[in-house]
Amino acid sequence: MAKTLTRTIERIAQIYHQPLPDLLFEAQRVHREHHDPHAVQLCTLCSIKTGACPEDCAYCSQSVHNPTDLTPRPLMDLEQVVAQARAAKASGATRFCMGAAWREVKDGPQFERVLDMVRQVAALDMEVCCTLGMLSLEQAQRLKQAGLTAYNHNLDTSPDYYGKIITTRTYQDRLETIRVVSEAGISVCCGGILGMGESVQDRLELLEALSGLDPAPESIPINCLVPVAGTPLQDAPPVEPIELVRMVATTRILFPRAMVRLSAGRLQMRDELQALCFMAGANSIFTGPILLTTPNPDSSEDNRLLQRLGMQPQAR
C-alpha cells in the first residue's frame, strides 16, 4: 500500500516539475482529447445561507471564529434563489451552485426548502450543484432525487496541512461525506485552495488525495485564496502565477475527463494568467460580480476576455 502511494506522489511530482513547455504540451494534448479546447463552462454561485458558520476554516469570511465584516443572512427564500438562477441562465451560465454556511445539513424545514430550490433550478434545465457541509446518505439520496447534479465538498489541501487550516472537522470527515455523495449517485465536485501558506508538496499531496477518490471527481475547483480581513490568512501573499499554471496543468493530466474550474481569486489574476490557465486545461469559471461573499470579475469583462482569446462559453 505504502509503495503504491509513493509511486503516485512521485508520478505527480514528475508531471508537475517537468519543464513548463513540456507540461503545457502534455496538458493540451490530454485536454484536446477529451474537451472542446475553445469552450469554457460558466457557473454561477449563490450564497443561499451566509455566515455564522460554526466551523473554523482559517480562510473563510463566514466562520464565527473569524471577526470579519460579513453580515450573516438566514436561508434565502425559494423564489429569490430561483430568480437568481434564471438571471444566471440568461447571462450564459449552465451550472448554478448554491452554498450554505453550515457545518452539516439538518433535516427539517430548511433542508426541505433547499430540496425545493434544487427541484426548481433543475427544472430550468441547468446543472445544479450544492455545497452544504457534511451530510448523511439519506440526505444525499434525497438531494439526488430532487435533481441535484453535483455536490461540492473540497479537501482544500494536503492531509498534513489540513490541521493548520481547520480544526473543527477532520480530513476523514470530508472523505466520508464525499463517499456518501458518490454512493447516492451524485457527481463529486472536489478541489482545493492555493495560497494558504502550504508548500508545493502539500499541493501535490492534495492531488494525490484526489487521485485516491473512487470514482474520481468529475469537477475540480482550483481556488486561489481570496484574503479576507479578519481571517488568520488575511495577509497571506498571492500565489505565484507559474505555480498556479503548473497546478492546473497537472490536474488536467491526472484527471483527463474532469471539469477543471478556475475558481476563487480571478479578480487578482491578469488576463495573461487566465489565458495560460485555459491553455493548461482549465475549462470553467465562476461568473457574476460576487462568488459567495467576495468580489469576482464582471461578466462583461469575462466575455470580452473569452472573445479576445477566440474562446466561447460552453453551450448547453
**Positions marked catalytic:** 53, 57, 60, 97, 129, 189, 261
177 binds ligand DTB (CB under 6 A): no
Which one of the spans 137-145, 177-185, 211-219, 287-295 is the region binding ligand DTB (CB under 6 A)?
287-295
219 binds ligand DTB (CB under 6 A): no
Min dist. Cβ of residue 304 to ligand DTB (A): 22
Instruction: Tell me the angle at which helices 200-211 and 2-17 cross, rounded to the nearest 10 degrees.
Output: 120
133 binds ligand DTB (CB under 6 A): no
The single-letter code of the amino acid at 231 is T
User: Which of 61, 84, 287, 299 contacts ligand DTB by CB under 6 A?
Assistant: 61
221 binds ligand DTB (CB under 6 A): yes
Find the largest Cα–Cα distance for the chain: 54
Site for ligand SAM in 104-133 (CB under 6 A): 131, 133
Gyration radius from the chain CA atoms: 18
Min dist. Cβ of residue 233 to ligand SF4 (A): 12
Q: Which does 91 bind (CB under 5 to 8 A by kind): ligand DTB, ligand SF4, ligand SAM, none?
A: none
> For ligand DTB, what does the binding mask look like between residues 180 and 209, x meaning CB under 6 A?
-----------x------------------
Which one of the spans 224-232, 248-256, 278-286, 299-307 is the region binding ligand SAM (CB under 6 A)?
224-232
With CB under 6 A as the rule, give the number of residues binding ligand DTB. Answer: 17
226 binds ligand SAM (CB under 6 A): yes
Site for ligand SAM in 249-308 (CB under 6 A): 264, 292
Min dist. Cβ of residue 222 to ligand DTB (A): 8
Min dist. Cβ of residue 191 to ligand SAM (A): 7
H/E/C letters for each residue in the chain?
A: CHHHHHHHHHHHHHHHHCCHHHHHHHHHHHHHHHCCCCEEEEEEEEEEEECCECCCCCCCCCECCCCCCCCCECCCCHHHHHHHHHHHHHCCCCEEEEEECCCECCCCHHHHHHHHHHHHHHHCCCEEEEECCECCHHHHHHHHHHCCCEEECCCECCHHHHHHHCCCCCHHHHHHHHHHHHHCCCEEECCEEECCCCCHHHHHHHHHHHHCCCCCCCEEEEEECCCCCCCCCCCCCCCCHHHHHHHHHHHHHHCCCCEEEECCCHHHCCHHHHHHHHHCCCCEEECCCECCCCECCCHHHHHHHHHHCCCEECCC
With CB under 6 A as the rule, give the number of residues binding ligand SAM. Answer: 16
- For residues 134 and 125, the answer to whether their CB atoms sit within 8 Å is no
169 binds ligand SAM (CB under 6 A): no
Q: Which residues bind to ligand DTB, rule: CB under 6 A?
A: 45, 61, 97, 99, 131, 152, 154, 191, 221, 223, 226, 263-264, 291-294
Q: Which residues bind to ligand SAM, rule: CB under 6 A?
A: 59-60, 99, 101, 131, 133, 153-154, 156, 193, 223, 225-226, 228, 264, 292
